[in-house]
Amino acid sequence: MIIAIDGPAASGKGTLGKRLAEHFGFAHLDTGLLYRAVARVLLDRNVPLEDREAAAEVARTLDVSHLDDSRLRGAAMGEAASMVSAYQPVRDALLAFQRQFGTRAPGAVLDGRDIGTVVCPDAEVKLFITAAPEERARRRHLELQSRGEQAEYEAILADIRRRDERDMNRSTAPLKPAEDALTLDTTHLDADAAFRAALDLVERKRSSTAGR
Fill in the DSSP letter of residue 170: -
Is residue 8 part of an annotated ligand binding site?
yes
Is residue 155 part of an annotated ligand binding site?
no
> Measuring CA to CA, which residue among 128, 135, 140 is closest to residue 202?
128
Question: Are 207 and 150 in contact, with CB atoms under 8 Å apart?
Answer: no
Q: What is the distance in angstroms between the CA of the first residue and the CA of the last residue of the chain?
A: 16
Is residue 7 part of an annotated ligand binding site?
yes
Is residue 12 part of an annotated ligand binding site?
yes
Instruction: Determine the Cα–Cα distance for residues 55 and 35; give it in Å rounded to an integer.
Output: 10
Is residue 13 part of an annotated ligand binding site?
yes
For 148, residues 6+ apart whose C-beta sits below 8 A from its C-beta are: none
Is residue 27 part of an annotated ligand binding site?
no
Is residue 32 part of an annotated ligand binding site?
no
Burial class (CB in 10 A: 0-12, 13-18, 19+), 169: exposed
Neighbours of 80 (CB within 10 A): 19
Question: Are 62 and 55 in contact, with CB atoms under 8 Å apart?
Answer: no
Query: Residues annotated in the binding site, as ranges?
Result: 7-15
Query: Residues annotated in the binding site for ATP, as ranges?
Result: 7-15
